[in-house]
Amino acid sequence: MQKDPTRLSTLNWDDLKFFLEVARTRKASSAAKRLGVDYTTVSRRIAALEQALGTLLFEKSRTSGFLLTLEGQRLLGYAESIESTLHMACEQVSGSGMALSGHVRIGCTEGFGSFFVTPQLSHFVDTYPAISVDILPLPHFISLSKREADIVIALERPEHGAYVCCKLCDYRLRLYATPEYLARHRPVETLDDLRQHRFISYVEDLAFSAELLYLNHLIPDAHAPLRSTSVIAQYTAAVQGHGLAILPCFIAAQDARLVEVLPREVEVTRQFWMYCREDLRKLRRIVLVWDYIREATEANEALLNGRQRALHFPTP
């Protein structure tokens, strides 16, 4: 297509919304579902935007879907900036940006999201009923650039991006088993004794972060006949007495069915990082949720590091 600046007068800025959804999902059908329209509407709006700009924004692939061209990649950054500016402008003008109401979506690791963030925020929404919260405890990375979440809690600090980021907390992992499993198998008194035992661990080639692959570092060639991409599945198997598992203390310490094994010899320390987009950080509801999560982790420092077994709830 030949570019013609005069065509910008025919540009429908609403088409950028369709462009962003297709760029993020790579599928017109998925974008249509998120936008509440049909597939043909999405295709028509993308075609109209390309016509107005005089350039091709996507290349279509049967296997990979809609792939951004070089021009599409350039437009993406500008379109996201426009989206953020409009989002902030609408909230500030309407007053909702400073109001104690609205919606917050939190992406986090599966175990921390299920066993810590969810119970903590259930108390938060009782205090602030006008703020609704989505919690996404997923065993994979969550993208802020694709608007999958407003706040992310992750194992690793983001390497780049216009984000506000802080170290949320340290947490420890230890080796756990049921008393019944330990009674049925050889005694564990040293690290060498562990070579005679079965482990429950991660599927190494499917682990979403190298930070999760601690078993081989601690116990090389450990026998792990049962593996899962889910820490909750590993925890469930350990509770059933099917082997030893290295689990976060904030999960296993709360369950009286599990006991620590060689706690002085087997201990791993990891960190959680919390971050959000710069343009959202000043919104009152984001500030409230952000600060409450920080207060909750500070109040539970002993649990996170394996020195207590009970979960505490700060007052929002």
d(CA 222, CA 247): 16
d(CA 200, CA 225): 7
Q: So what's the pLDDT on residue 190?
A: 92
Q: So what's the pLDDT on residue 292?
A: 97
Task: Set out the domains of the chain in order of their start, with CATH numbers.
Answer: 5-94 (1.10.10.10), 102-170+271-300 (3.40.190.10), 171-268 (3.40.190.10)
Q: So what's the pLDDT on residue 82?
A: 82
**Which value, to the nearest 10 degrees, does the dihedral of the CA atoms of residues 135, 140, 142, 148 take?**
-60
Contact yes or no for 104/150 (Cβ under 8 A) = yes
Q: So what's the pLDDT on residue 61?
A: 84
pTM of the model: 0.74
The maximal CA–CA distance of the chain, rounded, in angstroms, is: 80
Mean pLDDT of the chain: 88
Q: So what's the pLDDT on residue 2?
A: 52
Contact yes or no for 117/153 (Cβ under 8 A) = yes
Q: So what's the pLDDT on residue 101?
A: 79
The answer for residues whose C-beta is within 8 angstroms of residue 265's C-beta and 6 or more apart is: 190, 191
d(CA 299, CA 155): 20
**How remote is the C-alpha of 233 from its chain's centroid?**
18
Residue-wise pLDDT for 254-269, tens only, equals 999 999 999 989 999 9
Residue-wise pLDDT for 67-80, tens only, equals 999 999 889 888 87
Low-confidence residues of the chain: pLDDT under 70: 1-10, 87-88, 91-99, 145-146, 208, 211
